[in-house]
Copies of this chain bind each other. A is one copy, B any other.
Amino acid sequence: EDMTTRTIDLAVIPGDGIGPEVIAEAMKVMKRALQDEQAQVTFTEYPLGAQHWLETGETLTDETLASLRGHDAILFGAVGAAPGDTRIPSGLIERELLLKLRFSLDHYVNLRPSKLYEGVPSPLAAPGDVDFVVVREGTEGPYVGNGGAVRSGTDHEIATEVSVNTAYGVQRVVRDAFERASRRPRKKVTLVHKHNVLVHAGHLWKRTVEAVAADYPGIELDYMHVDAATIFMVTDPSRFDVIVTDNLFGDILTDLAGAVTGGIGLAASGNINMDRTAPSMFEPVHGSAPDIAGQQKADPTAAILSAALLLDHVGLPEAARRIEEAVEKDITSRAEMSDVRATAEVGDAIAA
């Protein structure tokens, strides 16, 4: 190592279930990808998640959050209790750890690429050439935790959920979507919302997209109601290039998109703070899959592709590209075999 070697200081949250297994492979591949670069990564592990909560009663303390802020980026596996585990209040780890990180670190761009690699089986009979990216808003909408219940548990209960949307929040994510579209060959942005029913939020989104579009004359703009978008996702997914949408619609659409492009075992994501006021966080879209945990059965590809998104974000686009190419090669080769490789074998193959 000479003086010009850059060190990327990463926090790693392996989490629960298959999280640690897939993250181990992502770390392996990252190290290998940086071998020929003037850069290296260091990993600091944070034991957070359902298991950690059971042991300590802590989800995410102020101290841990402050410490996480000190890193260049965060690599996140998966968290969550086993479905039948009644010791853990439902949704607690998701809200108090995962969503708290996204909101506290201002991850306003929840980036979720969907690409159907050659040879990957899709549940669709004729999927076509699918290659789009969803820019999901990550810090607002129905995810803010606003709302409440009165007369809870009685026949007169009223429970509300409030979706909060701001011009500030919508503008910055819409602008990001147009920026990404302008760097892609097809140069198209599709806003997905439901403005015929959700008029207040819908009109803010629609007006904002139209205003930002005026600054990007080369970008084609399309609009689709969320219900219609799910239809096109299964009848004509190749029509999409960049989709921009709110937090909840983005959650729904990206799971569907993951399924259409071969399963969420391949779906990567970045929770990105584009202003770099706090570290961004990269995680596979899949969950902790407790049923297959610890058995080396999980596909580490989504975690590895998330690591590539991370490297791209921290300014190492060539290493990112090398990982993506290695993944693409590995995935394509899977078509010719029945892929029963262990988690680590897939990681080894991609690293090689």
Chain A residues with a Cβ under 8 A of chain B:
90-91, 94-95, 99, 122-126, 142-143, 145, 147-149, 151-168, 171, 194-204, 207, 226-228, 230-231, 233-235, 248, 251-256, 258-260, 263-264
CB-CB under 8 A from A167, the residues of chain B are 151, 154-158
Is A153 within 8 A of B207, CB to CB?
yes
A-B contact pairs, 16 of them (CB 8 A): A95-B197, A123-B124, A145-B199, A147-B162, A147-B163, A149-B200, A149-B204, A157-B166, A157-B167, A158-B167, A159-B165, A160-B201, A197-B251, A227-B255, A227-B256, A252-B252
CB-CB under 8 A from A122, the residues of chain B are 125
Which of chain B's residues has its CB closest to A235's CB? B123
Is B252 within 8 A of A227, CB to CB?
yes
Is B231 within 8 A of A198, CB to CB?
no
Distance A124 CA – B235 CA, assembled complex (angstroms): 9
The 7 A-B pairs of least Cβ separation, nearest first, read: A91-B196, A227-B255, A157-B167, A230-B256, A159-B200, A159-B204, A231-B259
CB-CB under 8 A from A233, the residues of chain B are 256
Among the listed B161, B196, B252, which residue makes an inter-chain contact with A230, where contact means beta carbons less than 8 Å apart?
B252
CB-CB under 8 A from A198, the residues of chain B are 142, 147, 161
Is A165 within 8 A of B160, CB to CB?
yes
Is B160 within 8 A of A200, CB to CB?
yes
Distance A124 CA – B145 CA, assembled complex (angstroms): 36
Is B147 within 8 A of A200, CB to CB?
yes
Query: This chain: how many copies in the complex?
Result: 2
Distance A153 CA – B201 CA, assembled complex (angstroms): 12
Is A99 within 8 A of B197, CB to CB?
yes
Is B234 within 8 A of A234, CB to CB?
yes
CB-CB under 8 A from A126, the residues of chain B are 123
Given A123-B125, A149-B200, A255-B228: A155 and B171 within 8 A (CB)? yes
CB-CB under 8 A from A148, the residues of chain B are 200
Among the listed B161, B165, B207, B260, which residue makes an inter-chain contact with A162, where contact means beta carbons less than 8 Å apart?
B161
Is B259 within 8 A of A230, CB to CB?
yes
Which of chain B's residues has its CB closest to A199's CB? B91
Is A197 within 8 A of B142, CB to CB?
yes
Which of chain B's residues has its CB closest to A158's CB? B166
Among the listed B155, B194, B200, which residue makes an inter-chain contact with A168, where contact means beta carbons less than 8 Å apart?
B155
CB-CB under 8 A from A145, the residues of chain B are 199
Among the listed B168, B197, B251, which residue makes an inter-chain contact with A94, where contact means beta carbons less than 8 Å apart?
B197
Distance A225 CA – B6 CA, assembled complex (angstroms): 42
CB-CB under 8 A from A158, the residues of chain B are 164-167
CB-CB under 8 A from A226, the residues of chain B are 251-252
* Residue in A148, A160, A168, A253 with the greatest tally of chain B CB atoms within 10 Å: A160
CB-CB under 8 A from A255, the residues of chain B are 227-228, 230-231
CB-CB under 8 A from A156, the residues of chain B are 166-168
A146: min CB distance to chain B, Å: 8
Is A200 within 8 A of B161, CB to CB?
yes
CB-CB under 8 A from A199, the residues of chain B are 91, 95, 145
Distance A185 CA – B295 CA, assembled complex (angstroms): 37
Distance A155 CA – B204 CA, assembled complex (angstroms): 10
Is B161 within 8 A of A123, CB to CB?
no
Which of chain B's residues has its CB closest to A247's CB? B197
Distance A99 CA – B194 CA, assembled complex (angstroms): 14
